[in-house]
Structure 1
Amino acid sequence: MRLHVGCAMWTHKAWQGRLLAHPLPAEERLRHYAGWCDAVEGNTTFYATPARDTVASWARQTDASFRFVPKLPKVVTHDHRLTDVTEPMRAFLDAIEPLGPRAHALWVQLPQSFAPTDVPTLARFLRRMPSSHRCAVEVRHPEFFTDARAARELTEVLTRAGAEWVPFDTTAFFASPPTSDAERDAWVKKPRTPLRTEALTDQPIVRYLGRDDPDRTVDGWQRWVDITVGWLREGRSPTVFIHTPDNAQAPTLARRFHDEVRARLPELAPLPRPIPVEPTTLF
């Protein structure tokens, strides 16, 4: 029984000297983050495929049970929309190979314009994926959430491929108007997709966006505590990513989510112990 939790990134200015030691060389930052959380979203790979040596450094900083969910490059999902992507996908898969089992799933985040009529394209893409990698697909077109036939057809394609449907739960965030600059920025950038809570595989992945107020974030995730407990009791192994607009408390909130689940399932494996942040000295 294992629940993995994490954040959208492994380094953040607001964490420096408070949650993570500062300064830290680049080759140590992920190791210190991995003392707080045992999973991370791979957003950086969306913008550029990293050098293989860089990815090897990520592997050295984490143990084999750590979970990366690297996002497919933008050129694959948004520019070429999963068509004629043999070369960029070959380069991407080669780059992330050093992660080994840490590459938990490849995150296929599709643009909002990727509609139910494009599902056959997704099906062809998933059929070509090597069996050594599983995929987790995030869709944002509203019809996937409001049209039962569209949802059913997508579910059938994903199920045949052994792929997961990743929900990005923003319902708690959009429940009331923003109250900070970070929330106002997120208000215009984040998707307003309806809530979806079903898992298709034994390794579901959830992305949850709360508020900058930790109490409101915790209030909004209570349904996910219930769902996660249920999944674990069914023998599933979920990964839950905790976001807030400013992400200043994201690692502590991720651990709090894990603690709430573990309070109901004491047999759940604990998270690692954070590396102590050494106090600043004058000399």
Structure 2
Amino acid sequence: MRLHVGCAMWTHKAWQGRLLAHPLPAEERLRHYAGWCDAVEGNTTFYATPARDTVASWARQTDTDFRFVVKLPKVVTHERRLTDVAEPMRAFLDAIEPLGPRAHALWVQLPGSFGPDDVPTLARFLRRLPATHRSAVEVRHPDFFTDPRAVRLLEGVLTEAHAEWIPFDTTAFFATAPTSDAERDAWTKKPRMPLRAVALTDRPIVRYLGRDDPARTVEGWQRWLDITAGWLREGRSPTVFVHTPDNTDAPTLARRFHDEVRARVPDLAPLPEPIPVEPTTLF
């Protein structure tokens, strides 16, 4: 039984010198982040497939139970829409191979235009993925949240492929008007999706967007505490990613979420202790 928590990135200017030591060479930043959280979203891989040596550095900085949810390149999901993608997928899978067991799931984030009529394409794509990798799909077409037939169709394909459906919960964020520049920017960019809280596999993945006010973020995740605790009691091992518009306090919030779930499930193992920002002294 394990709950992993993490953020959308492992380095952020607002964390430097406050949560993470500063300055840090590039090959040490992930290791220090991994003292706070034991999972991370691999968003950068959406824009370009990383060099294999770069990925090997990520592996060296993390334990084998650290989780990367690595997003497939946009050329696969958005430009070619899962069709004729054998070559970029081979390159991507070769690049992330050094992660080994740390590669928790291949994150198939699909554009909002990818709707129910495209599900057969998704089914063919998932069938061709190597069995050595789990996959998790994030959809944004509104029919997948409002049309019961579309929901059943997608769930059937994902279940057959042993793939998870990643919900991106933005309901707390959009509940009230934005109050900061970062929130106003996110207001125009983040998807407004209805809440979904159904796990299809033993390793559910949740993305949660709160507010820049930590108290509002905590208030908005209350439902996820009970859902996550319930999954753990069922023997599942969920991964929860905590976002805020500015992400200034995201690592501390992720740890707080873990602590609050652990209060409900006392057998849950604690997170690692963060690496001190400054060396400890005797005096």
TM over 0.5: yes
Corresponding residue pairs, total: 279
Map 1:1-283 to 2 at 5 A. 1-278=1-278
In 1, the alpha carbon distance for the partners of 2:199 and 2:266 equals 23
Q: Deviations over 1:84-111 (max 9, x none)?
A: 0000000000000000000000000000
In 1, the alpha carbon distance for the partners of 2:119 and 2:266 equals 41
TM-score (norm 1): 0.98
Letter in 2 for 1:129: L
Letter in 2 for 1:171: T
In 2, the alpha carbon distance for the partners of 1:269 and 1:278 equals 26
Letter in 2 for 1:69: V
Q: Deviations over 1:155-190 (max 9, x none)?
A: 000000000000000000000000000000000000
In 1, the alpha carbon distance for the partners of 2:94 and 2:63 equals 20
Q: Sequence identity, in percent?
A: 86
In 1, the alpha carbon distance for the partners of 2:34 and 2:240 equals 15
TM-score (norm 2): 0.98
In 2, the alpha carbon distance for the partners of 1:95 and 1:268 equals 33
In 2, the alpha carbon distance for the partners of 1:49 and 1:216 equals 36
In 1, the alpha carbon distance for the partners of 2:173 and 2:123 equals 32
Letter in 2 for 1:210: G
Let me know the Cα RMSD of the aligned residues: 0.5
> 1:32 offset after TM fit, Å?
0.1
In 2, the alpha carbon distance for the partners of 1:226 and 1:213 equals 22
In 2, the alpha carbon distance for the partners of 1:119 and 1:263 equals 40
Q: Deviations over 1:119-175 (max 9, x none)?
A: 000000000000000100000000000000000000000000000000000000000
> 1:3 offset after TM fit, Å?
0.2
In 2, the alpha carbon distance for the partners of 1:170 and 1:23 equals 33
> 1:266 offset after TM fit, Å?
1.3
Partner SS state of residue 104, structure 2: coil
> 1:30 offset after TM fit, Å?
0.1
In 2, the alpha carbon distance for the partners of 1:264 and 1:170 equals 24
In 2, the alpha carbon distance for the partners of 1:192 and 1:10 equals 25
> 1:265 offset after TM fit, Å?
1.1
Letter in 2 for 1:236: R
Moved beyond 2 Å, runs of 4+? none
